[in-house]
């Protein structure tokens, strides 16, 4: 089985989804971010923002 990871880093949320080879979502995650923090800092330490 081939798995794919989709990540959305834009806006006030970080979102990710794990998909199987048919495009069905196996797992989703969403985490709010602090919009005043620089994007690269959020990516480097998502659990602290």
- For 8-38, the pLDDT digits (tens) are 877 778 899 999 999 999 999 998 876 666 6
Residue 49: inside a domain:
no
Residue 12: inside a domain:
yes
Rg (CA), the chain: 12
Length of the chain (residues): 49
The number of distinct structural domains making up the chain is 1
Q: How far apart, in whole angstroms, are the C-alpha atoms of residue 7 and residue 17?
A: 7
Is the pTM above the cut of 0.75?
Answer: no
Which pLDDT does position 47 carry in this prediction? 56
- Residue 24, domain extent: 4-33+40-44
Residue 11: inside a domain:
yes
């Amino acid at each position: 089985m081939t798995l794919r990871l989709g990540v959305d880093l834009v806006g006030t949320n970080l979102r990710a989804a794990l998909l199987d080879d048919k495009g069905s979502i196996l797992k989703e995650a969403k985490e709010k971010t602090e919009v005043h923090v620089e994007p690269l800092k959020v990516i480097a330490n998502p659990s602290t923002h």
